[in-house]
Amino acid sequence: MTTFFSDWYYLSIRSIKQIWRPLLALIPSMFIPIFFFFVNSQSLSAFAHVPGFPKVSYKEFIAPVAIFTAIFFSAGNAGIELVQDISNGYLKKLMIMPINRLAILFGKLTEVAVQSIMQGTIVIVLLLFAGVTFNTGVLGILAAFGILVLFAMAWSCIGMIAALRTQNARLVQSLFVVVFPFLYLTTSQAPKALLPPAFAVVATYNPVTYIIEGVRALVLYSWGDPRIWQGFLVAVVLFVFMTSITLVSFQKTLK
């Protein structure tokens, strides 16, 4: 067990250092969520007056989407970096050493978590300056991080699985856009009651809906809202499921 934590620690340090290489690459992932937040909150603000819309401003309603997007962007690098590690022989060197496979995976996931927290913190600070408030307070912000970081780590596993199975950087990079259909087929832009019937059905079965709604409940409502624990539950299930598949991919692909 001591060896596992030691391996995890040193692999995490190596992975975290890659966040800053290059530093300019972090700018779009922080600019885009804020840009769309301000554009949508202004251009669609009248939507908040539609009958059936919650008694909140549209700015507060879509604030969770900005946080989600900022943290999600941190999930895109893990798969690409893994392809690079495979192509330059670094991963092969790790595999022939007595290093726990789970420690290799968790080293990558730690990088995703650190980048998620960093980008999410910047976006939340900007949202607070824009007038968005968390009704659940500081603990609510921490809980939102818990839901979203778990989701980001789970989603990063998709890129890592593709990297292990295909070892193709272009394919892994293209998977980044897959999240947008998942994001917009949710209640990210409008409550379920105002969605077209077909969209509402898709949103009901879309796991991203529960992530968005869990964070939204932390922003707009109170701790008694069931959407909070539902968001946590979906995030945990996705994390366990995706990390399990990724670990199996490590075992099968890199024997």
pLDDT of 214: 95
pLDDT of 201: 92
Supply angle C-alpha 118, 119, 122, rounded to 5: 90
pLDDT of 236: 96
pLDDT of 226: 95
pTM for the whole structure: 0.89
- Burial of 28-59, coded b for 16+ CB within 10 Å and e otherwise, reads ebbeebbeebeebbeeeeeebeeeeeeeeebb
The owner of tokens 């079965």 is 205
pLDDT of 98: 73
- Burial of 116-153, coded b for 16+ CB within 10 Å and e otherwise, reads bbebbebbbebbeeeebebebeeebbebbbbbbbbbbb
Separation of CA 80 from chain center: 16
For the chain, which residues score pLDDT lower than 70? Answer: 1-2, 20-27, 29, 176, 252-255
Residue 42 identity: Q
> H helices of 185-225, where?
197-205, 207-220
Beta-carbon-side half-sphere exposure of residue 86 (alpha carbons within 13 Å)? 19
pLDDT of 231: 95
* Of 240, 235, 238, residue with least CA distance to 147: 235
Extract the tokens encoding 196.
């077209």
Alpha-carbon gap, residue 31 to 123, rounded angstroms: 9
pLDDT of 253: 63
pLDDT of 32: 81
Judged on CB neighbours under 10 Å (0-12, 13-18, 19+), 170 is exposed
Extract the tokens encoding 7.
């391996």
Residues near 226 by Cβ (< 8 Å), separated by ≥ 6? none
* CA diameter of the chain: 63
DSSP 8-state assignment for residue 193: G
| 240 phi, psi to nearest 5 deg | -65, -45
| pLDDT tens profile 134-179 | 999 999 999 999 999 999 999 888 888 888 888 777 777 777 677 7
Judged on CB neighbours under 10 Å (0-12, 13-18, 19+), 83 is buried
